[in-house]
Structure 1
């Protein structure tokens, strides 16, 4: 009897390890992709023209100090805004289709860390919005919510894209050529 239970658990473990990345990508697509794409859209006035809102979101203190005059900002600021904005478009798309999944998930995790630090330091998020782990409340927008975002990304970093991904198709094609 214990052998049957152990066999069933082994099969469950194998199934979970094989399909958890697909589930992580699905959840990312269902919950976060449109959030990041909508955020990116607020940062552009043109293909290569950052909106005032981009400066306000990414460099809030500096924009206020400059009297909301974006001409006070240089090429570095433009580059940071454009890289961050296009990352919000490209990285979710890569994760959804499962292409370059590990590096895309790693970059997305880094993006979320920077986003969180900007919210806390740059926008002076209040303690209720920041949250506190190991308290009774589970609804803080930064620490509570974003740690779940990171869990899915860490899954993809560790396990890759899983089945039904472009990464898997490339891997199969390369293994046939060898």
Structure 2
């Protein structure tokens, strides 16, 4: 009985994880990315404030105090917020995209805690009664779904599966 359940889960859980990601998180990340752009290659003032909050405050919110490194970090993070969710949804390069999203969420969380000074209620605590803290509670579930995709891949209903079949026929 459990063998059938294992096969069913391995086959369908990745599609469900991708669906839930699309339904719950994709628009969150895409909306966030849009706030960071004033043009295709022009970060917004808000992007600098979101990603480098303490440095922006120290610079008096003067973007000219920032260099190429800051621009590169902002642009890489912004385009990651566009591209990685899209890859996960269509199931293409799913494992690297899931790993990238996990890294993104870790950096986002550290920035929220250290850079923006998130309070204890926002950070939350594991093993307490409350399950609604933004960082430790919610983002743990985000990462769990992404770990599912990292471990199992995109599943049979994905572009990864199509690519694998085509490459397999050539070998």
Q: What TM-score, normalized by structure 1, do the two folds share?
A: 0.95
Q: Counterparts in 2 of 1:10-49, with a 5 A limit?
A: 10-49=3-42
1:44-80: CA deviations, max 9, x gaps?
Answer: 0000100010001000000000000000000000000
- Structure 1 distance, partners of 2:18, 2:79, is 20
- Structure 1 distance, partners of 2:40, 2:164, is 34
- Structure 1 distance, partners of 2:117, 2:100, is 24
Alpha-carbon offset, residue 163 of structure 1: 1.6
1:112-168: CA deviations, max 9, x gaps?
Answer: 000000000000000000000000000000000000000011011111110210000
Residue 86 of structure 1 pairs with residue 102 of structure 2: no
**Aligned residue for 1:3?**
none
User: In the alignment, which of 151, 161, 164 is matched to residue 144 of structure 2?
Assistant: 151
Runs (4 or more) in structure 1 with deviation over 2 Å come to none
Residue 121 of structure 1 pairs with residue 114 of structure 2: yes
**Aligned residue for 1:136?**
129
Root-mean-square deviation over aligned CA pairs:
0.6
Quick check: which has more Rg, 1 or 2? 1
Q: Secondary structure at the match of 2:92?
A: coil
Alpha-carbon offset, residue 18 of structure 1: 1.2
- Structure 2 distance, partners of 1:122, 1:175, is 47
- Structure 1 distance, partners of 2:104, 2:32, is 13
1:12-62: CA deviations, max 9, x gaps?
Answer: 111011111111111100000000000000000000100010001000000
Greater Cα shift, 73-82 or 16-25: 16-25
- Structure 2 distance, partners of 1:172, 1:71, is 50
Q: Secondary structure at the match of 1:45?
A: strand
User: In the alignment, which of 105, 119, 134 is matched to residue 112 of structure 1?
Assistant: 105
Q: What TM-score, normalized by structure 2, do the two folds share?
A: 0.99
Alpha-carbon offset, residue 9 of structure 1: 2.2
In the alignment, structure 1 segments of 5+ residues that lack a partner are 1-7
Count, aligned residues: 171
**Aligned residue for 2:43?**
50
In the alignment, structure 2 segments of 5+ residues that lack a partner are none
